């Protein structure tokens, strides 16, 4: 009989990879398979060091700007977060062969912003300054045509050119609750503002946050497997805290666990951000199994069946 303390793990579902992340990683892997290394990738393909390092070991070369890439016939992949219009324009001017791994749900936001602009509306983007997705979305329109708001307070200080010609779009990986509050503030100040036909926050972000809300009130601690620069992972940690779990932590790998933090707990919740592979969740569960008598229960709040098409250039490789 083991003298290890008992630990009940509640595993959130859905968790981990979303369809957009899965597609982006596939694009790099299939490009390596078809064209051989190197395959250049502008920015981290997704925000996860384990994924990036795995692809780098297979021959992917990660850069922040196209200017870092020498004259080459090798493929260049744009990350899942999307890029400003200037990036494919620069790639074309250099005769680069590029593959766009932008998540289709991010591309949807780009198209919405462009459509509002064509219809004469000033666009308000709800998002986090400096995040690659925000940089890419703002880069769809000319300077001054799109304004970023990050908080309800920003809304109070925002002065549009014409409050009757306004529209809003949002980053896809935000907190559902925070975004709702900002939208309510925008609508209260500018009743004529036009929103998306369908919510911009992606299905995966919403589903993962709902699963955390279901588990967090019933556990002593919550682990979100994900990277510090992953917006959706950071939001999951915040959602867990707000849902009643004061001990919520973001971890990249099992070796990051601070065991003193989990001393004396009996119930642990685990989820993973949309760019975190399931192998890292399993690694963390295995680490806890060395310190506790572990039982694992999955708490499922939604089923996900969405898949996105690959670029035409890679479909034949995927079919083989």
pLDDT > 90? residue 199? no
Cβ within 8 Å of residue 301, ≥6 positions away: 12, 13, 14, 207, 210, 211, 214
pTM of the model: 0.94
> 266, 274, 164: which is closest to 212 by C-alpha?
274
CATH 3.40.1010.20 in the chain, residue ranges: 6-17+203-300, 105-189
What's the rounded Cα separation, in Å, for the pair 313 and 103?
17
CATH 3.30.300.30 correct for 6-17+203-300: no
Q: 105-189: which CATH number, 3.40.710.10, 3.40.1010.20, 3.80.30.20, 3.50.50.100?
A: 3.40.1010.20
> Which tokens go with 303?
């089923």
What's the rounded Cα separation, in Å, for the pair 269 and 213?
11
pLDDT > 60? residue 1? no
pLDDT > 90? residue 316? no
3-state secondary structure of 268: strand
> Which tokens go with 268?
């642990």
What's the rounded Cα separation, in Å, for the pair 261 and 287?
14
19-103: CATH architecture: 3-Layer(aba) Sandwich (3.40)
Q: pLDDT digit string (tens) for 19-73?
A: 999 999 999 999 999 999 999 999 999 999 999 999 999 999 999 999 999 999 9
The CA-based angle 213-216-218, given to 5 degrees, is: 120
CATH 3.40.50.11270 in the chain, residue ranges: 19-103
Q: By the 8 A CB rule, do 232 and 208 touch? A: yes
What's the rounded Cα separation, in Å, for the pair 289 and 242?
28
Q: pLDDT digit string (tens) for 120-167?
A: 999 999 999 999 999 999 999 999 999 999 999 999 999 999 999 999
- Looking at residue 6, its pLDDT comes to 97
In DSSP terms, which residues pair with 76 in a beta bridge? 40, 98
> 237, 232, 184: which is closest to 213 by C-alpha?
237
Which of the following is catalytic: 133, 266, 290, 320? 133
| Section 91-112 average pLDDT | 97
Share the mean pLDDT of the chain: 96
What's the rounded Cα separation, in Å, for the pair 26 and 300?
26
Q: pLDDT digit string (tens) for 289-310?
A: 999 999 999 999 999 999 999 9
Q: pLDDT digit string (tens) for 214-251?
A: 999 999 999 999 999 999 999 999 999 999 999 999 99
For the question of residue 241 being annotated catalytic, the response is no
| Section 280-290 average pLDDT | 98
Kind of pairing between the strands at 39-42 and 98-100? unpaired
> Which tokens go with 279?
């192998």
DSSP 10-58: EEEES-S--HHHHHHHHHHHHHHHHH-S-EEEES-SSS-HHHHHHHHHH
């Amino acid at each position: 009989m083991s003298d290890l303390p008992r630990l009940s793990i509640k595993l959130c579902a859905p968790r981990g990879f979303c369809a957009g992340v899965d597609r982006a990683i596939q694009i790099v892997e299939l490009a390596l398979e078809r064209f051989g290394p190197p395959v250049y990738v502008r920015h981290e393909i997704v925000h996860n060091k384990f994924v990036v390092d795995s692809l780098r070991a297979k021959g992917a070369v990660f850069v922040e700007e196209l200017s870092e890439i020498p004259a080459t016939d090798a493929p260049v992949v744009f990350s899942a977060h999307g890029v400003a219009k200037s990036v494919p324009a620069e790639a074309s001017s250099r005769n680069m062969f590029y593959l766009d791994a932008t998540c289709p749900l991010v591309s949807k936001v780009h198209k919405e912003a462009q459509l509002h602009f064509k219809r004469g509306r000033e666009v308000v983007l709800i998002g986090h300054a400096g995040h690659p997705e925000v940089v890419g979305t703002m880069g769809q329109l000319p300077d001054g045509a799109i304004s970023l708001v990050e908080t309800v307070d920003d809304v109070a200080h925002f002065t549009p050119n014409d409050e009757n010609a306004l529209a809003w779009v949002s980053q896809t990986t935000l907190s559902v609750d925070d975004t709702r509050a900002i939208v309510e503030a925008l609508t209260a100040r500018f009743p004529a503002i036009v929103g998306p036909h369908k919510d911009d926050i992606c299905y995966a972000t919403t589903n993962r946050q709902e699963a955390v809300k279901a588990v967090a009130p019933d556990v002593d601690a919550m682990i979100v497997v994900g990277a510090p620069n992953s917006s959706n992972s950071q939001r999951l940690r915040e959602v867990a805290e707000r849902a009643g779990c004061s001990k919520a932590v973001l971890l990249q790998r099992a070796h990051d666990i601070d065991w003193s933090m989990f001393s004396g707990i009996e119930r642990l919740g685990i989820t993973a951000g949309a760019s975190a592979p399931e192998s890292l969740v399993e690694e963390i569960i295995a680490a806890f199994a060395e310190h506790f008598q572990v039982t694992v229960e999955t708490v499922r709040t939604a089923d996900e069946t969405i898949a996105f098409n690959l670029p035409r250039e890679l479909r034949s490789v995927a079919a083989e």
